């Protein structure tokens, strides 16, 4: 089974040092580049869990992963759709192989089990956590109560992404991105008959500096 990781990022756009995230107390997107270089990518590479690691968006080439340059089109969260699709298109595997899609401020828990190839679901939505206030970890909103698939970290079989391509989803209006795209994806998967479930046994961690994702 091929087990692939796709990470979308805009952390090295020319204006990344000047663009702040309103949800993170003014932290700039360029700070995510440091996290990617010093934490995220070395961690994944050291554990050797994934067969292929693809960074897509605006970053730089480096060891242990493949880089697919995807310039911004929307200049907002809607670029996730283009970046994730480009990452998927750059990978190979069988229909029942899994692809993990992550935002660059989200860390995959390396103790997560490897998903089963014969799992009947086409999409799994992990639980979401932070250590921003406690080393024990604190559960975050992850769509489980709202009944939607979260975009911070999304697990999809290859056949599911082919049935519902990321670029087939309509972009959201600026200011309505979260959880707008999450709901858009969930509705599209439902209309396409893609079975899925909330999968709390898989964890992703919010790691953005100064973030207060519990708010």
Tens-digit pLDDT profile for residues 70-80: 999 998 889 99
Integer angstrom CA distances of residue 83 from 28, 76, 86: 20, 12, 5
Contacts 24+ apart (CB under 8 A), 70-74: 72/10, 72/13, 74/171
Query: What residue numbers bound the domain in which 132 lies?
Result: 3-206
More confident residue, 23 or 102: 102
Judged by DSSP in three states, 149 sits in: coil
Residue 175 has pLDDT above 80, yes or no: no
Cα gap 116→165, rounded to integer Å: 22
212 within some domain: no
108 within some domain: yes
Residue 179 has pLDDT above 80, yes or no: no
Residue 64 has pLDDT above 60, yes or no: yes
Q: Average pLDDT in the 176-199 region?
A: 89
Q: Average pLDDT in the 82-98 region?
A: 97
Q: For residue 174, give both structure tokens.
A: 């600026």
- CATH code of 70's domain: 3.90.550.10
Pairing of strands 138-139, 123-130: antiparallel
Judged by DSSP in three states, 203 sits in: strand
211 within some domain: no
Q: Average pLDDT in the 189-206 region?
A: 97
Total-model pTM: 0.94
Give the contacts of 71 (CB within 8 A, at least 6 positions apart). Answer: 58
Count up the domains in the chain and report the number: 1
How would you class 63 by CB atoms within 10 Å of its CB: exposed for 0-12, middle for 13-18, buried for 19 or more? exposed
More confident residue, 212 or 148: 148
Residue 106 has pLDDT above 60, yes or no: yes
């Amino acid at each position: 089974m091929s087990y692939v990781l796709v990470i979308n990022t805009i952390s090295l756009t020319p204006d990344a040092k000047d663009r702040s995230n309103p949800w993170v107390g003014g932290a700039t997107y360029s700070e995510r580049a440091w996290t990617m270089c010093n934490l995220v990518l070395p961690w994944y590479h050291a554990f050797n869990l994934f067969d292929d690691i693809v960074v897509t968006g605006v970053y730089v080439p480096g060891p242990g992963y493949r880089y697919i340059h995807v310039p911004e089109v929307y200049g907002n969260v809607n670029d996730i759709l283009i970046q994730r699709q480009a990452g998927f298109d750059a990978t190979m595997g069988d229909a029942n192989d899994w692809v993990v899609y992550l935002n660059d401020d989200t860390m995959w828990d390396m103790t997560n089990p490897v998903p089963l190839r014969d799992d009947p679901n086409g999409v799994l939505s992990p639980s979401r956590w932070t250590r921003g206030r406690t080393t024990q970890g604190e559960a975050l909103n992850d769509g489980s109560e709202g009944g939607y698939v979260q975009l911070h970290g999304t697990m999809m079989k290859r056949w599911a992404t082919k049935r519902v391509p990321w670029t087939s989803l309509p972009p959201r209006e600026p200011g309505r991105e979260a959880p707008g795209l999450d709901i858009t994806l969930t509705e599209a998967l439902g209309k396409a008959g893609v079975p899925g479930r909330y999968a709390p046994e898989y964890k992703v961690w919010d790691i953005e500096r100064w973030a207060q994702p519990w708010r």
